[in-house]
Chain A
Amino acid sequence: MTTHVATDEKNYLQEGHTLASWLLTKDHKRIAVLYLISVSFFFFVGSIAAMMVRLELTSPRGTLMSNETYNKAFSAHGVVMVFFFLVVAIPAIFGNFLIPMQIGARDLAFPRLNLLSWYFYMAGGIMFLIAMMSGGVDAGWTFYTPMSSIYSNGQITLALVGAFVVGFSSIFTGVNFIATIHKMRAPGMTWWRLPLFVWGHYATSLIVILGTPVVAITLLLVVFERVAKIGIFSPELGGDPVLFQHMFWFYSHPAVYIMVLPGMAVISEIMACFSRNKVFGYHFVALSSLGIAALSFIVWGHHMFVSSQSMYQGIFFSFTSFLVAVPSAIKVFNWSLTMYKGSVWLASPMIYALGFLGLFTVGGMTGLYLASVGTDVHVTGTYFVVAHFHYVMVGGTLLAFLGALHFWWPKFFGRMYPEGVAKWNALLVFIGFNLTFLPQFVVGWLGMPRRYHYYYFAPEFQVYHVMSTLGASALAVSLIVPAFYLTYSLFKGPKSPPNPWAARGLEWEAAASPPIKHNFHGVPVVVGDVYDYDAEAEELALRGMTKEEA
């Protein structure tokens, strides 16, 4: 079945050991590793800011830092996590590495553009770091005007230019993925044989190329307004600040799907492999990604129910927001049914995937509370919203990221990590996460506003905040632990077999772990369907039987 590879051959990690061989590489796999390192760094920076926020809120009086410092802490957290972690992490690391391998190509369509995208990411990131250290940014990740364009006195300009530059990095990746998926598929790799991972990234890339330019220009206009005092959003110039919100959310709602669709893409792969089953309703799951991409562009107004938007707009956006929950639900149901009659194997990637399933569901359902205009008027701007989006972004995307990291780690580096520790750690992530964010639903519902650095008016909220901070500490531990054992495994971990999970898909079946520079020793020719797992046969094999005997 598989044409494996002479082991004495150089894998992609061994093609050159100089720094230049990494920094000038055009190999999609090496660029993925560059991204892995830099994205992890930014995740670390964002987490420090989060811990500052959590520590401040343990006391109702806001004793630890001034309100301005607090604003800078949560803004840094939001900007870094959204623009430098969530939007980038899964596509640029796993998409980059795996899309060419899963479709049977030697590289992405435009390798130099791919490398350029990493440089843009780094340039944008460094600009933001400088902005953070030389005065900070206090306008939140949403940069609402006129706060950002006129009143804020932080380093908004540099931060916005950084966000603009990093936007180009996503655009480059998006264009690259689209061209690759359309034109570089191996013979026999039809659209309906594409792994759902590829489908998810295809939908994501469509959103990226349609949405990111909008936010990029919008942020640039804010820069013009701030620097040259010319602008479109200033009331002083006859402009309308709410127009900024429209343009910002026109991108930023679809952007939440840029963040979660790749996560969903990962979950489909993990669910199939660790249930030893075809993904239930493959076509529906694939099409629901496109459905989400399309619908995501007509719901942005649900972030603006209490802006000056008209009541009829509110009703429209409320309705469309309910619609967008449908394809998301299709996915959740289909993943659940994938386990049905499968042979579920609770390895660490699967534990993360199951965590995703539960947490994403809670996040999505609470999204519907927020999408109901009447309810939203009550809870908008409170911790309820904060809890909602952390359930989808952390419970969804971060867990999928960790799942992907554990699933494809042997593919990336050819080493195994200590699975026992990894499993317990996955459980700790789940517990720590819930302890952090469940209390936020409650305290938000009771009226705790977001972005306040004190709550002396309601000291009874303290117990929820303390729970949340404890949870965040547990979560922090559960993120440091993998950093250690994964790094350890790079040097001391046992060598992994080419396909430690007996997974299906070209990246596992037709390539070595780690792969060679051109991924395959030839051009893979695909004849069968995707996910041709056979749970029944495998279960029987465990009992030493074949299907005929049974």
Chain B
Amino acid sequence: MISLKKMNQPQDTVYEQFEDLAQQQETYVLGMWSFLVTEVMFFGVMFMSYIVYRWKYQPYFYALHKELDWRIGGINTAILLASSFSVALAVHYHQKKKKMNVLMCLGFTNLCAISFIVIKLLFEYIPKWNHGHYPGPGFSWDNPYVPSHIAQLWFSLYFGTTGLHGLHVLIGVILFSVLMYLIAVDHPSISDYLPTEMLGLYWHFVDIVWIFLYPLYYLMPK
């Protein structure tokens, strides 16, 4: 039933558990996709909670969504879309082995990611915090048309979901910085475009989550 064939000679760029580079790359990409599946499920819980409560409290949620400025959310959406485009370009250039272009694209992506966080903090989180619009014992609320506990629930959902998303953006910033450094110094672990591609997949996912978050929280219909 079984015979043994010779193993391939070890190569520097292929880890010992793999036969060849092609197998290694396919496995990494598949692993990344499986990881993204788990990410979808993570966010799924937040979206599900949103759906349940919006169903229950639609008129209040409509009133509450006016607490957010759709223009700021819109700018952030544009920023993320641009960053997704440039990361796709980075993969393209990496396949063509144009190091400078890769670095420039990744740099632009990273800049976008950082601006996203800065805008979110400066124009959204911090003002809300200053108004006491953070859920918890210190919550202050003076809109008589929306009960305070529902406002708290709404802010819990808002901070929970965008916070989880923001955390992903922050992790993206860290990973992009590390990747850029490794590419810049020609580190041996970056033997091909695969790391860029995997990080790109991650980044597209982060982008897509925002594409859903934005209309759900900022552009609610009556």
Contact = CB atoms under 8 A, between A and B. Distances in A.
A75 interface: no
Interface in B36-73: 37-39, 41-42, 44-46, 48-49, 52-53, 56-57
Contact of A224 (B17, B38, B134, B160): B160
A285 interface: no
User: Taking each of A1, A108, A237, which has the highest tally of chain B beta carbons within 10 Å of its own beta carbon?
Assistant: A237
A175 B38 contact: yes
B45 A178 contact: no
Interface stretch (A89-97, A146-154, A238-246): A238-246
Interface in A512-550: 518, 520-528, 532
B30 A179 contact: yes
Interface stretch (A17-25, A118-126, A208-216, A378-386): A208-216
Interface in B8-37: 15-19, 23, 26-28, 30-31, 34-35, 37
A187 B42 contact: no
Given A183-B27, A232-B160, A237-B152, A106 B4 contact: no
B48 A247 contact: yes
A117 to B, nearest CB: 13
Nearest to A240: B52
A228 interface: yes
Nearest to A177: B34
Contact of B5 (A230, A525, A528, A532): A525
A237 B4 contact: no
B41 A214 contact: yes
B34 A184 contact: no
Contacts of B6: 522-523
Contacts of B136: 228-230
B17 A526 contact: no
Contacts of A105: 17
A2 interface: yes
Nearest to B56: A240
The residue among A211, A525, A528 with the most chain B CB atoms within 10 A of its own CB is A525
A523 B152 contact: no
B23 A183 contact: yes
B50 to A, nearest CB: 9
Contacts of A528: 1-2
Contact of B4 (A109, A180, A504, A523): A523
Given A179-B31, A238-B147, A213 B4 contact: no
A187 B17 contact: no
B3 interface: yes
How many chain B residues sit at the interface, stated as a range, is: 35 or more
Given A175-B35, A238-B57, A231 B4 contact: no
Nearest to B37: A209
Output the residue of A3, A176, A217, A506 with the most chain B CB within 10 A. A217
B16 A106 contact: yes
A107 B156 CA distance: 44
Contacts of B114: none
A1 B30 contact: no
A171 interface: yes
B153 interface: yes
A279 interface: no
Interface string A197-218: 0000000000001111110111
Contact of B30 (A178, A236, A237, A520): A178
Of the candidates A178, A527, A532, the one having the most CB atoms from chain B within 10 angstroms of its own CB is: A178
A293 interface: no
B205 to A, nearest CB: 13
B38 A238 contact: no
Given A109-B31, A184-B23, A209-B37, A217 B5 contact: no
B38 A3 contact: no
A287 interface: no
A504 to B, nearest CB: 8
B23 to A, nearest CB: 6
Contacts of A100: 17
Contacts of B23: 183-184
A216 B19 CA distance: 35
A523 B2 contact: no
B107 interface: no
Contacts of A179: 27-28, 30-31, 34
Contacts of A237: 135, 149, 152-153, 156
B17 A232 contact: no
Interface string B93-116: 000000000000000000000000
B1 A229 contact: no
Given A109-B27, A230-B135, A232-B49, A509 B149 contact: no
B122 interface: no
Interface string B145-165: 001011011011101100010
Contacts of A521: 4
B4 A525 contact: yes
A184 B15 CA distance: 13
10 contacts: A106-B17, A175-B35, A178-B34, A209-B34, A210-B41, A218-B45, A221-B45, A228-B136, A509-B1, A521-B4
Given A110-B31, A229-B136, A231-B135, 18 more contacts: A2-B2, A105-B17, A179-B30, A183-B23, A183-B30, A210-B38, A212-B38, A214-B41, A228-B135, A230-B159, A236-B149, A237-B153, A238-B57, A247-B48, A510-B2, A522-B6, A526-B1, A528-B2
